[in-house]
Amino acid sequence: MSSKSDGMNYAPKGKPAAVVGPGEFKIAAMHLDHGHIYGMCNGLTEAGAEVKWVYDPDPEKVKAFQKAFPNAKAARSEEEVFEDPEVKLVAGAHVTSERCALGLRAMAAGKDYFTDKAPLTTLAQLQAAKDMVKKTGRKYMVYYSERIHVEAAVYAGYLVEQGVIGRPIHVDGFGPHRVGNPKSRPDWFFEKEKYGGILCDIGSHQIEQFLYYCGVKDANVQYSEVGNYNHPDHPGLEDFGDAVLVGDNGATQHFRVDWFTPDGLSTWGDGRTFIIGTDGYIELRKYVNVATQKTGNHVFLVNKDGEQHFEVDGLVGYPYFGQLILDCLNRTENAMTQDHAFKAAELSVKAEMMAKNLTPIIRK
């Protein structure tokens, strides 16, 4: 991925840390509508998975994928993948509104499912996914990449677990993205019914981090807002959104997401997270340290011991993927619980549903 990409093909590479031997965990990649499929499969193969199949109706997408994963065989249909007993997990990056339906088909075929975020776009889809998980015992896991595939975010989790900032009580999250050349985007990117809205889509990253860092099991959306400030030619696009949540343990969150990364930034977005605790705080500068270092994975810690800056690029890796493979094999929940994955999705949809639309005010 080039340093100025739009994030569509975000596919970080870490240190290989296989948890299984060759051929022990075979997967399939299906419906390559979002470039995150590369990051998803990178993470899994670094943990020892083997991509046996790839399927997409567009042969050009399949050919491009096979350049990155040359051992993947092109499937002629979904059924060819679903009927293969060696495939343990299906990884999919379908159009957002179609991700749940793909997951239902995969789970009905006896496969665990790993989908790009947002994992679904409606509460009806959420209930269908919950019902299928209960019926089949399969997993419906989610690529919340801004935490599980960012070493700064992984390291922050370790710090929180160690208690270095006391009890986490608040998270501020900032998820700006570069929209890039609109002509390079697929049509569904601009259709709210298909991508789910900005709070459902990239907002899901932010809500998942709040649940994780603050140990929140459930939360209420206090307010949320969306708007189209600068893309009148694409009325279905929400280019700005923000929300406030209150967790069941009293922890709070504010987050802001947008499509306004300027061309002068050296990466696709200046993603930052602040975690405030009773005894200190942590700041993450995930992708760049603006005007100072073009590297990412910067963690700043301030507590009773003073001020510290950790550069963790290449230090901690991405343990989620190995844990996910072992969870699938052992039917455990160490990478992420199903309740957690679904709760982040639920709150993202609810934030979108109740959001005040600022666009009419903007257009006055």
Helices (H), the chain: 36-46, 59-68, 78-82, 99-108, 123-136, 145-148, 151-162, 192-195, 203-214, 319-330, 338-353, 359-362
Q: Are 187 and 215 in contact (CB under 8 A)?
A: no
CA–CA separation, 150 and 271 (whole Å):
11
Question: In the predicted model, what is the mean pLDDT of residues 25-52?
Answer: 98
Residue 262 vs residues 46, 200, 231: alpha-carbon distances, Å: 33, 23, 15
Q: Are 160 and 169 in contact (CB under 8 A)?
A: no
Among all chains, which residue has been given the structure tokens 């296989």?
Answer: 18
Q: Are 301 and 106 in contact (CB under 8 A)?
A: no
Write down the pLDDT at residue 15.
Answer: 79
Per the prediction, the chain carries an average pLDDT of 96
This prediction's pTM: 0.96
Encode pLDDT of 232-272 as tens digits: 999 999 999 999 999 999 999 999 999 999 999 999 999 99
Give the CA dihedral 230, 232, 237, 240, nearest 10 degrees.
30
Instruction: Give the residue, 361 or 293, on which the prediction is more confident.
Output: 293
Q: Beta strands 26-32 and 356-357: pairing type?
A: unpaired
Write down the pLDDT at residue 364.
Answer: 73
3-state class (DSSP) for residue 87: strand
Closest CA to 113 of 271, 319, 342: 342
**Cα Dmax for the chain:** 61
Write down the pLDDT at residue 6.
Answer: 63
Own/partner pairs, 61-66, CB within 8 angstroms, 24+ separation: 61/32, 62/32, 64/32, 65/29, 65/32, 65/37, 65/38
Pick the CATH number of 147-318+350-357 from 3.30.360.10, 3.30.70.2660, 3.30.460.80, 3.40.50.450: 3.30.360.10
Confidence band for 3, pLDDT divided at 50, 70 and 90: very low
Percentage of the chain exceeding pLDDT 70: 97
What does R_g of the chain's alpha carbons equal in angstroms?
20
Is pLDDT above 80 for 11?
Answer: no
**Residue count of the chain:** 364
CA–CA separation, 96 and 192 (whole Å):
10
Is pLDDT above 90 for 130?
Answer: yes
